[in-house]
Structure formats: structure tokens, C-alpha cells
Amino acid sequence: MRVLPVASLLDEALALWRACPETRPDLGPPSPPQQQSANEPFLERFIQSLHSELQRLPNTRAQRSETHQRITAAFTTFGRSALGFSDEHLHLLLGNGFSSIGTQMARRARSFDPSVPLDDILQASRNAWTACGLQVLFGRSMDLTPSIFAYSMLYPYSDNYMDDPQVDSTEKRGFSARFRQRLSGELPDPANTHEATIWRLVSLIEDQYPRLSQPGVYDSLLAIHHAQEQSLRLRKSVCCSPREIEALSFEKGGTSVLADAWLAAAPTPDSADASDLQLKFAFLWGILLQLGDDLQDLREDLSSGTLTVFSNAASHQPLDALTNRTLHFARHVMALMAQLPGPPPTALMQLIRRSSLSLIIRAAGEGAEYYTPEYLQFLESHSPFRFAFLEERRRRIADRNILLARLFEAFLSGDSDEPAFPWLPNSLLPR
């Protein structure tokens, strides 16, 4: 596989971003208020069905199977009626696709480290979905390989540690230096059990991809590590210009998914290298995912003093124009996805397009105070549900997070041949 210099990818991405207009994009036909009103009862009934399941957590194999069937049936009705999902879309979400990958990820995580928190498992699963989605986009079968599992787990173990404001900066620098040595193929002594766990994850990648034959895999891991180190500058205590914030954020998001691409498409005896186009798409998709996450986390970032493209702008202007630019950027990324070689996995591409758009629109709706009323009305007209309706349902689901966690744990206790936990599409439902 050829290596594309990260600096070139970043420069190209920044040029594309800065060329995107701040005018309103064409988002297609709006959802009339009467259509939103017709959709909302389906979401309401699905949430009620989910709440009902939380009152009777399954304890046996038979009960887990029955719970799986009921939640799947309820979501299928909602997905078809309110979101227009086809059987192919539903199979990717709840069948032997992303749902299965998420459950495999969670069960392997608990086997690897019985103490890993649920939040870390969910974070790791989101990366695994991205990597496995790239496998399909690149013409391969969806498979949670040892390297994808290990890289996905490195996020909660290393990235969150580096972002933790409670950890002393001296400790972070020491850990980061040793971690860089380990990614480079050296074997520094781990300073603690936390580092020993990270070293084990790197070993899983090395077992699948020998360093001598797959140097690009490790170059990509070093690239995201460098981006994580540089992203420590994204604090209000550090002076960063808007362009520096863009560059630091884009490098972190882009290299994150670029590493996924290397792990998803490293050459095998019966497969070819990933193309330059595939790697470019992965880098830009990573930036788009970063932008979506930053918009979702806007209030938290403002509170903690974390600088992002959105938190930096929110203090002195409405986010209308910046969100328009993000939507234009998303259209460019989705257009590039359509140019990927090979037979197009149409259903997956449709889900990615819909997810990318709905994530941005819904996140903006949640941060209504940072937008003008006219612009919110424009975005809401392209949502299948009214923003006020979504906000109220989001709060109801948040109130039951502990029960949702218990339901998740009940499924994880099952055997590997039991039905997967019916994961829900995060970008399409209230958080």
C-alpha cells in the first residue's frame, strides 16, 4: 500500500474546507410539518417499547432472544415508517452487520479486560464501526479483525488519558514518549498496568501485521499519535489562531480514520493495496466525523475550555455560516465516496450519507442557543422530527441510561452464538 504524506492530505483538506461557501446548501426536499407530525408517533411508540424492555431485563438465553426479537421488531417498524429504511438498511444496522460488530467488540473487550467501563466499550465500538464500514466500502467483507479491535481499544486507553485534565502534564509527556517508542517497535518497560495493557494491544496489531512487511500500518499509528500530542494545544490556556485550531482538529480527525483505512485494507495475498482515492476519502471522512463530534460536544467543550472549530466561534458569533460550511464539506466527502472503485455498496453509502447529514442537523438543534431562529427553522425543515420533540425524547432516554446500561450488560453476559445486542443508530435517535 502506498503512503500518502499526512501533510499533503491535511493541506488539501484545509484548502477544501476554506473553499466551502458559507451560504445555505441545497439539502434536498424539506420535510413538511405534516410529515414530521406523522413520523413522530412512530418514534414515540419505539421509545415506549424500549422503556418497556427496561422493566424486564433478560437473565436467560431464551429471555435475551425474546428481548432481541421485540426490540428489533419495534425498531424495524419505526425505521421503515418514519425513516424510510429498506430491508438492506435494516439488515446492516440490526442484522449481521454493525449490530454484530458492536456486540463482538464489547464481548472481546470484556474478555481482554473485565474492568473496562461501558463508556469505553461504546467509544471503541464507534471506531470499530468506522473501520468495518471502510472494509465494505473498499470491497471487502465486514470483519472485526484483531488489529481493528486493538486499535479501537487504544482510543479509550490512550486518547482519553491524554485528554484527562486530572492527569499531570509531566505524566502525560512521559506516557506519550513511551507510547511512541512502543508504536515504533521498541519495547520500553511499561510504567504501570495501564501502559502494560496498551502494550498488549499494540502486540495484537503486530501479530496480524508484521512490521517488516506492513510498515504503512505503523506509520499511520504514529501519525494519529502525533496528532493526539499536538491536540493538547487545543486548550484556552494556549494561544491558537482559528487556522491553527482547524489544522490541529483536522489532523486528529483525519489521521484517526486514515489508520482505520490501513487496518481495513492492508494488502493480503488475495487483495490489492488501497488506492490513493480510498486513503484520501478516509482522511476526509475522519475530519467530517470530527466536526460532527465537536458540534455535538459544543456545550461540554465550552465548559471545559477545549478549543474546536465550533467552540472557538460560538463565543462571538452565531454558528449559522460555520454549519453551512460543514454541510458543504460533507457533500464533497460524500461525492468522493461515490467515486471509490469497485461495485458500490449502495445501502451502506446511503446510510453514511443520511447519518452524516442527520448528525449535523440534530447536533445543531441541540445547541439552539448558538444559532439564529431563522437558520434553526431551515435546518429543522430537513429533519424527520421537530427539534422540540427530539429534545424532550432525548431527556427521557437520558433519564434511563442506567437501565439501558443494565440491558446492555445482560446481553454481554450471553454466549458468543446468541443474538447480537440490538444496537441503535446513534445519529438517527435522541442521545
Q: Where are the alpha helices (DSSP H) in 184-319?
A: 193-208, 215-231, 242-265, 276-296, 298-304, 309-314
pLDDT for residue 38: 96
Q: Across residues 195-203, what is the average pLDDT?
A: 96
Which helix (H) or strand (E) segment holds residue 347: the answer is: helix 346-366
Residue 285: pLDDT above 70?
yes
pTM of the predicted model over 0.85: yes
| Separation CA 237–CA 307 (nearest Å) | 10
Q: How far apart, in Å, are the Cα atoms of 157 and each of 74, 101, 233, 261, 413?
A: 35, 20, 20, 21, 23
Residue pLDDT, tens place only, 100-138: 899 999 999 999 999 898 889 988 999 999 999 999 999
| Separation CA 364–CA 370 (nearest Å) | 8
Give the domains, in start order, of the chain with CATH numbers: 6-30+116-383 (1.10.600), 31-115+384-425 (no CATH)
* String of DSSP letters for 370-389: GS-HHHHHHHHTTSSS-HHH
- Provide the percentage of residues in the chain whose pLDDT is more than 70: 93
| Separation CA 216–CA 258 (nearest Å) | 11
| Separation CA 414–CA 335 (nearest Å) | 41
Residue 422: pLDDT above 80?
no
Q: Which amino acid is at 256?
A: S
**Residues 6+ away with beta carbon under 8 Å from 392:** none
Q: Give the other-Cβ count within 10 Å of 406's Cβ.
A: 13
Task: Tell me which residue has cell 499511520.
Answer: 220
Residue pLDDT, tens place only, 325-367: 999 999 999 999 999 988 899 999 999 999 999 999 999 999 9
Q: Across residues 158-168, what is the average pLDDT?
A: 78
